[in-house]
């Protein structure tokens, strides 16, 4: 029963779209009608600017942390924790409260990975930020982060297999969600940071 409860809570928590809510408060409109149409921190940056985007980023990261924290409080079984994080990302991507049209889950993934395997996530994050600074492609840095963090976890520290395994599934999901970004990156048409 604790697995079911943690799964439902994680999904519902992930389904809270802070980019939608904050844009609704500021613009009185749906963020999915603006910019890239994505309900996430990067599009919030394009549409609302720096400070609202940082707030969305932090709140979306927090969703992943809290989902795993609740699972740990309920049962702390090995597979419960990463699965709760996975369900928070699923909720963010396909939120029940917002017509199942959400974001791409990178910020929530940051929270999940940092909670499951902190130091590998820090190293992956440093590489991702450096890549974004060099190229100004947020999507490219995001894709590097989601792939590198669970791979680093294989070699740094002694993390449970379940953490790494579900981490790799989350990375695959992120690549699928970013498939249009990948096509634009290959074609040289991807939006750079700072451009609308």
Q: In this predicted model, what pLDDT tens digit does every residue of 112-126 receive, in sequence order?
A: 999 999 999 999 999
**pLDDT at residue 195 tops 80:** no
pLDDT of residue 72: 93
Q: What b/e readout covers 78-101, taking b as 16+ CB neighbours within 10 angstroms?
A: eebbbbbbbbbbbbbbbbeebeee
Q: Which of 139, 124, 123 is nearest to 195 (CA)?
A: 139
**Residue 194 lies inside a defined structural domain of this protein:** no
Say how many domains are in the chain: 1
**Residue 18 lies inside a defined structural domain of this protein:** yes
Helix/strand/coil (H, E, C) string of the chain?
CHHHHHHHHHHHHHCCCHHHHHHHHHHCCCHHHCCCCCCCHHHHHHHHCHHHHHHHHHHHHHHHHHHHHHHHHHCCCCCHHHHHHHHHHHHHHCCHHHCCCCCCCHHHHHHHHHHHCHHHHHHHHHHHHHHHHHHCCHHHHHHHHHHHHHHHHHHCCCCCHHHHHHHHHHHHHHHHHCHHHHHHHHHCCCCCCCCC
**Residue 88 lies inside a defined structural domain of this protein:** yes
Structural domain including 168 reads: 2-187
Q: What is the pTM of this model?
A: 0.94
**Residue 192 lies inside a defined structural domain of this protein:** no
**Residue 196 lies inside a defined structural domain of this protein:** no
**pLDDT at residue 109 tops 70:** yes
**Residue 73 lies inside a defined structural domain of this protein:** yes
**Residue 114 lies inside a defined structural domain of this protein:** yes
**Residue 157 lies inside a defined structural domain of this protein:** yes
**pLDDT at residue 35 tops 80:** yes
């Amino acid at each position: 029963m604790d697995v079911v409860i943690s799964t439902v809570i994680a999904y519902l928590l992930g389904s809270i779209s802070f980019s939608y809510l904050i844009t609704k408060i500021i613009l009185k409109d749906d963020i999915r009608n603006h910019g890239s149409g994505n309900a996430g921190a990067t599009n919030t940056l394009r549409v609302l600017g720096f400070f609202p985007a940082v707030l969305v980023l932090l709140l979306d990261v927090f969703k992943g942390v809290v989902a795993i924290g609740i699972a740990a409080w309920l049962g702390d079984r090995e597979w419960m924790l990463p699965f709760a994080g996975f369900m928070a990302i699923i909720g963010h991507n396909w939120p029940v409260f917002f017509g199942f049209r959400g974001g791409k889950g990178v910020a929530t993934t940051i929270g999940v990975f940092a909670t499951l395997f902190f130091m590998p996530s820090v190293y992956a994050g440093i590489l991702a930020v450096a890549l974004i600074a060099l190229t100004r492609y947020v999507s490219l840095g995001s894709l590097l982060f989601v792939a590198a963090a669970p791979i680093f976890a294989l070699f740094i520290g002694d993390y449970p297999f379940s953490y790494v395994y579900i981490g790799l599934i989350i990375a695959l999901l992120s690549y699928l969600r970013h498939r249009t970004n990948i096509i634009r990156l290959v074609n040289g048409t991807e939006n750079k940071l700072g451009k609308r």
